[in-house]
Structure 1
């Protein structure tokens, strides 16, 4: 909103003084992050009380029965706080006329809404098994994922047409695959759905998803900033895409909101993200990956998410066929707590792993 106002004033030839700073992307990245952080910190406690009074509290029927018992009754759907913080800050500092901003905000809020419906159903019927059915949740997610895939190959996408269906591989300068439209749409639907589920399944310990998602989003934010800057993109041999810098603004705002949420979500948590937060965050990460044309960077920077869903699928599919468990608990973070490792230590260790993965991903900026 501020960006649109400044553009309008400058278009009329007015001297706007210090407001010229709004035209600097780096300024809006910083201010967006600070604003969403302060909003979450300021509103957070009152919002948690609101959730508590509305009886939006966790109903655990979890695979980790002992830990779940100790967490029952804690307010859930805390992802609403993240959504409010992001929305408030993006309205102030985002370029609302930018197509990337529009798509990211719409997808983020829609995924969060799907998650909230799931959380509300669980609370309403007082059972973790009473949320949306797997089929129902999948259908609702696909209602956005499929149009998003179509957007990526359409003329509405600011990415130049020759780049829309190509696949870049980290550490290589040139794209290695140019898929047909049909194959690319199928790839987008599969990958986005998988990323959302991988992120969702990682939300099992206090502070784990928030801490690891910040790192993943941060890496994509850096890539977006570089790709949207002609000088940096040319120097690092990335295709320049005008307007991509606004993805960095969105990423910074989401990071600020997550830092603010972590203030209340670190062990022992006062509030949970719920599916409201995990689906919104997963959707945002997936969209950032595709909008920056760094889809295959996710297995590196989001390696922890990939490993978490891999262990869960291994337990369900392979373990189910063998008639025995591969792990005592799945996904992997529950296996670690089952082995007696304290929850805060598990979270810190997995965040350290995510830091290493983020650094490896950043190496691909130069090592190409």
Structure 2
């Protein structure tokens, strides 16, 4: 009898814990859609019914796509595993999340275009939303991973990924796969660096199996960047890299400027007017066959510096320094790449210089 009592207690505790547990970092429950619908909930590829997709709630024309599936003569790209979902016209998937109010989070998900031209996705967590354009393909394998950051205003929220597009053919929407979350630890300035998150170690979740990094789209709301401290203030995304798959100059994470002058990353930092400062940073290549003459332009206050780097595409880096005198109490530090690059082994994949270990310190005047 005692055994069953204990078993019952364990069961009750686990049920209770399941109900109140906050979400943990990594793939969301059935975030990779590998747990499929019942056969009775599937009509061809179309999911039938609001709760036909395990752990999600669906709305509108949502399809369950198997790897290797074709549409006409087009092979549909399933980013990871054997299954993905496709969002038709005005269709969405929704999941309830239990978060810690006031904390910052980042959602990472993979998306692939199919036959629509101007793809846009509306990603939202109550009450915040952003429209992410996904028409630019950065990698040639047909899909990219994207990150989106937000601050939890409530503890119980809905995460919704919604295809706002209206195509003549509803089966032309984007494919979605691998939805994950990461709690962001707001970085602080230290006495070794006036910039926050200058080493880029704090950022969105990167799937351990994904070898193409995560795109951080342009920020409309810079206070909720999935890359804390930094503003992507440009038309194109930048790419967030991990040391498991790329050469990273320092630590485990770095950024790659994949869109030339259209990928700019900036941070506004407190400075004392009249004081002299030194901005140092690493520039290199990610060991991803991105070759040629690269150039990073760095800006701080009213000073600019062009740093050339000749890439063999095999993973190297060097350091550069920009000294400037602050003229205001707030100084903008910004980087972009002068040129566009594509990979030598795959000319339809955008790539570019890597930036890492960005430090800003005040320096004493030397007489």
- Using structure 1 for the length normalisation, give the TM-score: 0.30
Q: Which has the higher contact order (CA 8 A, sep 6+)?
A: 1
Higher helix share: 1
